[in-house]
Amino acid sequence: QVQLVESGGGLVQPGGSLKLSCVASVASELSSRNWIMSWYRQAPGREREVVAQITSVLDITNYADSVKGRFTISRDEGKNTVYLEMNSLKPEDTAVYYCNLDREVWDGDTIVEFTTRGPDFRHWGQGTQVIVSS
């Protein structure tokens, strides 16, 4: 089982910035393997989409094309916390933002696949609302 608590959302004007936080608690059976930490978002009338991911080691990152150069994902070593720094926010960034765990595929020191496949039981937190509007 995974417990996820997102925070840091709010209302900002276009061009503004926000920093989101996610605290993840992972059951022992899931702790036996490594997981990507991912940020997702879901806007009204749209499917949930992944926006940023970071690997369990080496902090290799992956971003959706729509947020490259504007968003930065990071994680604290020794802490169950992942962050999403969002800059130059646009109205189309308006959504509920969620974090989660996803499977990672390695070949030695090379990440070969960022997946959007979570644990067998996929649990979602409440998310945090981000509204970008003038």
DSSP secondary structure, 51-92, as one string: EEEE-SSTT-EEE-TTTTTTEEEEE-TTSSEEEEEE-S--GG
The pLDDT of residue 33 is: 78
Residue 77's pLDDT is 74
The whole-number pLDDT of residue 53 equals 98
What are the two backbone dihedrals, phi and then psi, of residue 131, each rounded to the nearest 5 degrees? -125, 125
pLDDT of 24-46, one tens digit each? 998 888 877 789 999 999 999 99
Closest CA to 34 of 6, 62, 57: 57
42-95 pLDDT, tens digit each: 999 999 999 999 998 899 999 999 999 999 999 987 778 999 999 999 999 999
Q: What is the pLDDT of residue 30?
A: 82
Q: Which long-range contacts (CB under 8 A, 24 or more apart) does 86-91 make?
A: 86/17, 86/18, 86/19, 86/20, 86/130, 87/17, 88/15, 88/17, 89/12, 89/14, 89/15, 89/16, 89/17, 89/18, 89/130, 89/132, 90/14, 90/132, 91/14, 91/132, 91/133
Q: What is the mean pLDDT of residues 102-111?
A: 91
